[in-house]
Structure 1
Amino acid sequence: MKKILTPSIDTFNSDNYHQLCDSLGKKDKDLQSVIDRYGYPPMWMRPNSFESLVHIILEQQVSLASALAALKKLQEKTIELTPLTVLKLSDEEMRACYVSRQKMVYIRGLANALESKTIDLKKLENLSNDLVRAKLIQLKGIGNWTIDVYLMFVLQRVDIFPIGDLAVINAIKKLKLLPKSTDKETIQGMSDNWQPYRTVASMILWHFYLSSSGSKMLPL
């Protein structure tokens, strides 16, 4: 069933994704050049689950391969990766799953918030981007980059620009032939030209990054 868009909660989906890509291509010839050369970007999505947020936490400041290895270990250890099964793991068991001491704190904090109903992932689907951010930012280890990725990949919000993502930043510099010294404030200003579809623009930029570098993994 096609999602109904509202002024406060606009999303992308399989029905409108290519149309949004085309709209951006008309506004920005460089984004259009990526589509012309490499095709439409994949519509990267993740389910709205504890496991998805754990995966995003594991991806913080490490390689995607390392994060995925840790996630798979946790999945194997718990059989079903839920807040309750994670809270039953000892420090030693989590370390054996390649989870750092710092991320143990983050993951357990998230698990406790979900178990206590302080955070309800299902209810987040009906909140504005700002309210989702306000709720999640209260949790230790959940910063703006993590929330951006959650909004984009899980809630499929259409107008998020992940200024903290190095792959997106580097893709813009390469695509736009910008000096390596170009600061984030300048790039943030450039992203305003892609409103209200900055998530989709980021997907195109990730697609460019992957396709031009020959990488097979999404650069989160």
Structure 2
Amino acid sequence: MPQQFTPDNFYTICDRLAEMDADLAHILQMHGYPPMWSRPNTFESLVHIILEQQVSLASALSALNKLRERVQEVTPARILLLTDAELKECYFSRQKSSYTRYLAEAIISGQIDLAVFEHMEDDEIRRHLTALKGIGNWTTDVYLMFALQRADHFPVGDLAIVNAIKALKSLPKETPKEELVLIAQQWSPYRTVASMMLWHYYLSKPKGK
């Protein structure tokens, strides 16, 4: 079973990472511990992550809340009852409407089972999820990190993470993602928690004019 982080070991892992990397120690000194962001392992959580693709967190949450208002409980069956027009009224783009429907159909058909994922290896979960239209590595990374609390993921496709690590380590803007992946390798097997420290740094740091 892949290593997980929990409320019991989260701060200890942060401290261990700070001992490994002076820049991560700086985050703790300046901003304190990051929140232990987590979400339930549900269809709704995956829909939420799909909504977060390439938009602001606030926009995604607004769409999710609008969906909740319409269907009360966000389930695969209820999603499949909605028309394109109804999903559009919930601020779903045409693409995200289709991605959400594909996910709903995959769950109803038994192609994927979120409860079974809790006992699967990370690579196997990734293979199942990325086989679905509209779910790539970033969506899978965030699901593994937030819904399953898997401890060793670095979402290099996340713009906030990329900007945070470049700012924290004074790297040139043109630094390739491959180099960032190599830097993150030193934080293994706790790259998820290091990523949460980076998100915390990004959200806490005053934005430039």
TM range (shorter): over 0.9
Matching of residue 150 in structure 1 with residue 166 in structure 2? no
Amino acid across the alignment from 1:97 = C
Matching of residue 41 in structure 1 with residue 34 in structure 2? yes
Structure 2 partner of 1:207? 200
Match of 1:15 among 8, 32, 47: 8
Question: Distance in 2 between the 1:193 and 1:56 partners?
Answer: 27
Question: Distance in 1 between the 2:177 and 2:206 partners?
Answer: 22
Match of 1:115 among 85, 108, 111: 108
Matching of residue 75 in structure 1 with residue 65 in structure 2? no
Question: Distance in 1 between the 2:123 and 2:67 partners?
Answer: 31
Q: Which runs of 5+ in 2 are unaligned?
A: none
Amino acid across the alignment from 2:157 = G
Q: Shift in Å at residue 213 of structure 1? A: 3.0
Structure 2 partner of 1:89? 82
Structure 2 partner of 1:139? 132
Q: How many residues end up aligned between the 2 structures?
A: 207
1:111-162 CA-to-partner distances (Å, cap 9, x unmatched) read 0011111110000000011011011111100000000000000000000000
Aligned pairs for 1:173-184 within 5 A: 173-184=166-177
Amino acid across the alignment from 1:180 = K
1:155-190 CA-to-partner distances (Å, cap 9, x unmatched) read 000000001001001100100011111110111110
Structure 2 partner of 1:29? 22
Q: Report % sequence identity.
A: 57
Amino acid across the alignment from 2:25 = Q
1:61-91 CA-to-partner distances (Å, cap 9, x unmatched) read 1111111111011100101110000000011
Structure 2 partner of 1:189? 182
Question: Distance in 2 between the 1:186 and 1:135 partners?
Answer: 28
Amino acid across the alignment from 2:167 = K
SS of the equivalent of 1:210 reads: helix
Question: Distance in 1 between the 2:49 and 2:190 partners?
Answer: 22
Question: Distance in 1 between the 2:59 and 2:7 partners?
Answer: 30
Question: Distance in 2 between the 1:135 and 1:181 partners?
Answer: 33
SS of the equivalent of 2:205 reads: helix
TM-score (norm 2): 0.97
Question: Distance in 2 between the 1:92 and 1:74 partners?
Answer: 12
Q: Which runs of 5+ in 1 are unaligned?
A: 1-7, 215-220
Amino acid across the alignment from 1:124 = F
TM-score (norm 1): 0.93
Question: Distance in 2 between the 1:31 and 1:75 partners?
Answer: 37
Q: Shift in Å at residue 20 of structure 1? A: 0.5
Question: Distance in 2 between the 1:192 and 1:143 partners?
Answer: 21
Q: What do you get for the CA RMSD once the two structures are aligned?
A: 0.8
Amino acid across the alignment from 1:156 = Q
Question: Distance in 2 between the 1:9 and 1:32 partners?
Answer: 25
